Amino acid sequence: MTTETDFRFDGGATWLNLLATQGQSFGTRPVERIGTPEAGRRWLGLVGFGVVGELSADDLDRLVRLREALRELAMAAVAGREPASDDLAQVRGHASGSAGALWSGSAQAGVPLDAALAAIAIQALVMLQGPDRALLHQCAEVDCRWVFLDTSRRRHWCPSPACASRGRVRAHRARQGGPSAD
């Protein structure tokens, strides 16, 4: 079962935190943190988008597809290349959704899923097209590669202590001529 402590909220923006709902994305065993509709609904609530009603499997699939499209846009931005047109179109499609529904009704009643997805997509597009794009950095750990906001412009690893620890051990062993850390 996923707990609130399994989620990462240290990426610098909600859309970047959505990328972290899958850990070790490029490793042999990715960690899916929103693998159930309930986990997806819980994550949305924790980032301020208490969604109206339960999430269905299709709703969760839409959230995961948005995450993966955003991952492509983030990685393209860091690499200085154009993102895949399908992924950009998907994010733009979400952004043109019903973000205005966020401001209607009461906070206790929640927001429609489309409004939450639209707000996340809009946040990403604004960051990717503005000056904060230059602050995006990719974790140096090959199995992580999470894109996060690096205001220091000096980080090599994401805010995860595990990535930094593995990276430092690997660098130390390389300097010493020993085997690398896994």
What is the H or E stretch that residue 122 is in?
helix 113-129
Question: pTM above 0.85?
Answer: no
Is 138 in a helix, a strand, or coil?
strand
In eight-state DSSP terms, residue 3 is -
Q: What residues does 137 pair with on adjacent strands?
A: 148
Reported as a single tens digit per residue, the pLDDT across 41-73 is 999 999 999 999 999 999 999 999 999 999 999
Neighbour tally for 141: CB within 10 Å? 22
Cβ(156)–Cβ(140) below 8 Å: yes
Cβ(112)–Cβ(52) below 8 Å: yes
Task: Return the percentage of the chain with pLDDT > 70, whole number.
Answer: 81
Cβ(95)–Cβ(125) below 8 Å: yes
Q: What residues does 136 pair with on adjacent strands?
A: 149
d(CA 138, CA 80): 12
Q: How many degrees, rounded to 5, is the angle at CA 61 between CA 32 and CA 144?
A: 30
Q: How confident is the model at residue 21 (pLDDT cuts 50, 70, 90)?
A: very high
Q: How confident is the model at residue 142 (pLDDT cuts 50, 70, 90)?
A: confident
Reported as a single tens digit per residue, the pLDDT across 165-174 is 665 666 657 7
Neighbour tally for 41: CB within 10 Å? 22
At 19 the pLDDT is: 95
Tell me which residue of 13, 16, 4, 53 sits closest to 145, measured CA to CA.
16
At 100 the pLDDT is: 63
